[in-house]
A and B are shown apart, each in its own frame.
Chain A
Amino acid sequence: MINQEQYFKLAEELINTGKKNGATEIQISISKSDDFSIEVKDGEIERLSQAGPVGIGIKVIVDKRTATASSSDMKKETLENLVKNAVTRAKLASTDEFAGLPDNEKINSDISALKLYDLKIEEVSSDLMIQRALDLEKMAMADKRATISGGSFFGKSTSEIYLINSNGFSNSFKTSSCSTGVSLMSGENANSYEDGYYDHTIHYEDLMSNELIAAEAIRRLTRMLGAKKIKTQKVPIIFEQGISGSILGFLSSCLGGNSIYMKRSFLAGKLGEKIAPDFVNITDDGFIPKSPRSRPFDGEGVPTLKKSVVENGILTSYLLDTYSARKLKMKSTGNASGTTNFTIGGNTSAKDIIKSVKEGLYLIKTIGQGTVPTSGDYSKGAYGLWIENGELTYPVSEITISGNLGSMLKDIELVGNDVDFIHGKMVPTIKIKEMTISGL
């Protein structure tokens, strides 16, 4: 078992190996986890998994030429060979004026204030986990409308992230997580439906109770029973809280630095332009306490500070790592590891949003890929509830919704106030003025 100090020491040694062999700059990242999970099905344990994986990432720059490596073999000789190979390979890459590590930026914020680690997680026993998973399935299946259990689970994990580079950055943080959920099926053949619910938090005490999860799973399962196919038409669409993230997820892939400089985004070159109505504000913030999406610095050691991406409807920032930032003559936004708590501000209740629709679709699940960043085209299979006169009525399925993210952003009409970072629900309910539904 290696302790924290030894990981820092290993990284320093590898940095020295790299430098000795000709690396101009070198970065070492190490992640170590302890994972334990229980899966239950039909009242019995189906699977129990336990592991403590370790992995290392290496980035070497030799005179503006880059090579990377990774390993799950942590033997020193293997890692030293990987570093030496990376130096050799870097010399075969092209000279790239934008290559290089970021300048060392101090993490000024107090990482512990983020509360990303719950000591109590260590004490959650396997017996308790098994009991919770068994109880959850039993509770959900007690409702006769659920005919088949897709199983329940309880998992916990702790992990440590280390990042050390030759520019003097050296830091680490620990995170914990626990999660539990159940999946259910009901109905027959083409009319069957599967759904469920799970919760995922950093702190054990924040995790939803079995009662609440089972009730929510049943609510989600039963509301879709007897779904109909509807005709092709254009209507307002409300993205339910849990899936509204797919709009922002697609947006974030269109704002990534590589998509911008490779012109594989419809938003390339649109910085400073109006892309949404005045009331739309979209931010990314790695420093929200107790959020499973928070992290103090990205994979290059750049702080993941709060930034405005869309402010009063105007595109104010891309999501950049050091490389794409240099290429675009900008500054890294701390997004080398993707987004953190990427969210949109809103103040309308979900209920009032539904009320605002005379006839439309309340979208509760999508299926399929169907997003093209280059064009902004969006097209997915959909499940939802039909809205009539501000009320949810019957379920609909086997339809698709299509549009273009450019127009969807401009057509945002209402944004919900139902963000819940602690449970990882970063994106509120969103109403889009109009999209095409394909059906009968």
Chain B
Amino acid sequence: MIINSRRDFIKTSAVGAGVMLASNFWVDKLIAGSAPAAGKDFIQQRFGLSPDEIQKTLAMALSRGADFAELYFEYRISNSIGMEEDIIRSTSEGITLGVGIRVLKNKITGYGYTNDLTMESLIRTALSAAAIAREAKHSDIISFMTRTPNHQVYELKNPLTEAKLNDKIQLVRDGYEIAKNYDSKIKKVSASLADEIQYIAIANSEGLLEYDVRPQARLNVSVTAEDKGVRNTGSSNAGGRVGIDFYKNIRTPKDIAKKAAEEALILITAKNAPPGTMPVVLSKDESGVMIHEAVGHPLEADANWKKTSIMHDKMGQMVSNPIVTIYDDATIPNLRGSLNIDDEGTPTENAMLIEKGKLVGFLNDRLGAKILGHKMNGHARRESYMSPPIPRMNNTVLEKGDSDPAEIIKSVEKGFYAVSYQGGQVSGTGKFTFSVNLGYMIENGKLTYPLKNATLIGTNIEILKEISMVGNDMGFFLGTCGKDGQSVPVTCGTPTMKISKMTVGGVA
């Protein structure tokens, strides 16, 4: 997952007190306390373009008869620090700057982008995107309505991008050292911190002018343990749209390191999962990956208006057991998938997808909403200015139920308990898998011994009906979701739940 103008920004600093921002782009510190400039001025200040120039570019994009044109400006600074073999091996800094120009004519999209923000380059890019439409048309001058997001769901206080490099290095060292010294069976550790801040501005031919400032951070610790010739690796991470205080108060490097170390130590004692079809209990922390694959992707608007999703003709139908309610809420504060506005400038909201078993909504972008006759609900996202927006998930949640997690395990005579995952995948036809890193055998209602190396497979419309118990707990998982070659940060949240039967891919 992951990333400039014409004024001078010099953030002077002594060595060890942070590093100056690379770009000459910034006039001032936009973040942390200082109120960002309003929309028009934002683009002027951040990208060096006047409202007139933006209007002219939009007019060019519409000049061949398109219905709609949009400019998406992005400037992103991303940093990372990596530690292995007891040393800080390297640090990196990345700058992403560019503008993506999108033109719509009926269902057709024209898209171009450039990282050269001169008028010449913008006009060339606008015209190439405009080429989808083929009739000359004069468009009226657009008057912009500057809008500011109606909620603020990020922690912009003490962002990591502004923190001293030494303070960030210390977080990485803490995570590394705690994991390394956790047990004598721990042989290798790597720890890394990635942080970024993304500034976007959106201007469109309907007169919208909007901007957003989005922080993101993730601290990861990976631990390799070895005993009697058996080796395995466990990982853990934490972060979100948070500042450095998150790692002091909410999830410390120590918490993350301990979790990774413990997983590695259990994995070296784990047996191969048994193969076959059996009841499966999904634990709360990471099992959202199942909802993400089985429910989230098939409910994205594009797969439904294109009829490539198995769900496209099931709106209003019962697709699950009534104990299941699933929504995608980008407005939950500080989560990795949270956004104030989506990448088309639509305010984000909590989109209900499945309510008490009934399919009630899709994840909509502008194009999908129009074709399907639905309302936009703030779910258009893009990896960067280089990609057109497509409907995506943000924070996908299966709502808490009534069952005590212990009772759920107790209800299983022989089955599989899934704890952590490498990830999941779904096909358009609804077949999905998730790859389990660590699980446990359930025998007579008790967790007996750890298991590894299992892929769980099912078809979403069948598995949804097999969800038979939903716990009263909740856990969130930090993920990166890939679709159409675009990666975006997401989370998913689930309580402990029971699937009455599912195929567990193990080794005989």
Q: How many Å lie between the Cα of A374 and that of B231 in the bound state?
A: 6
For chain A, residues 351 to 377, give those with C-beta under 8 angstroms from any C-beta of chain B.
367-372, 374-375, 377
Instruction: Give min CB distance, A404 to chain B, whole Å.
Output: 8
Interface pick from B19-27, B332-340, B492-500:
B19-27
Q: A45-B132, A73-B95 are in contact. Are A51 and B505 (CB under 8 A)?
A: no
Q: Is B281 engaged at the interface, CB distance under 8 Å to the other chain?
A: no
Instruction: Give min CB distance, A371 to chain B, whole Å.
Output: 8
Q: Which residues of A contact B457 (CB under 8 A)?
A: 367-368, 381, 398-400
Q: A49-B111, A50-B129, A92-B16 are in contact. Are A78 and B435 (CB under 8 A)?
A: no
Instruction: Give min CB distance, A214 to chain B, whole Å.
Output: 18
Q: Is B44 engaged at the interface, CB distance under 8 Å to the other chain?
A: no
For chain B, residues 10 to 49, give those with C-beta under 8 angstroms from any C-beta of chain A.
15-16, 19-25
Instruction: Give min CB distance, A260 to chain B, whole Å.
Output: 11
Q: Which residues of A contact B98 (CB under 8 A)?
A: 53, 72
For chain B, residues 271 to 320, give those with C-beta under 8 angstroms from any C-beta of chain A.
272-273, 275-277, 306-308, 310
Q: A46-B109, A399-B503 are in contact. Are A264 and B455 (CB under 8 A)?
A: no
Q: A93-B90, A374-B231, A397-B431 are in contact. Are A402 and B115 (CB under 8 A)?
A: no
A182-193: contact bitstring with B at CB < 8 Å (1 yes, 0 no)?
A: 000101011011
How many A residues have CB within 8 A of the partner chain?
84
Q: Is A271 engaged at the interface, CB distance under 8 Å to the other chain?
A: no
Instruction: Give min CB distance, B389 to chain A, whole Å.
Output: 12
Q: Which residues of A contact B276 (CB under 8 A)?
A: 232, 438-440
Q: A85-B19, A189-B461, A232-B276 are in contact. Are A72 and B115 (CB under 8 A)?
A: yes
Instruction: Give min CB distance, B302 to chain A, whole Å.
Output: 10
Q: A72-B97, A92-B16 are in contact. Are A436 and B431 (CB under 8 A)?
A: no
Q: Cβ of A370 and Cβ of B435 under 8 Å apart?
A: yes
Across the interface, A379 reaches (CB within 8 A) one of B129, B166, B190, B505, namely B505
Q: A232-B276, A380-B505 are in contact. Are A51 and B112 (CB under 8 A)?
A: yes
Q: Which residues of A contact B431 (CB under 8 A)?
A: 367, 381, 397-398
Q: How many Å lie between the Cα of A371 and that of B275 in the bound state?
A: 17
Q: Is A150 engaged at the interface, CB distance under 8 Å to the other chain?
A: yes
How many B residues have CB within 8 A of the partner chain?
95
For chain A, residues 20 to 76, give those with C-beta under 8 angstroms from any C-beta of chain B.
41, 44-54, 66-75
Q: A53-B386, A185-B429, A380-B433 are in contact. Are A398 and B459 (CB under 8 A)?
A: yes
Q: Which residues of A contact B112 (CB under 8 A)?
A: 49-51
16 A-B residue pairs with CB within 8 Å: A49-B112, A51-B112, A53-B115, A69-B95, A70-B95, A73-B95, A73-B96, A93-B87, A148-B307, A189-B310, A367-B431, A367-B433, A370-B505, A372-B422, A400-B457, A402-B506
Given contacts A48-B109, A67-B90, A70-B94, 13 further A-B contacts (CB under 8 A): A51-B113, A66-B89, A71-B22, A72-B96, A82-B95, A85-B20, A85-B93, A93-B89, A93-B90, A262-B188, A263-B224, A379-B506, A440-B277
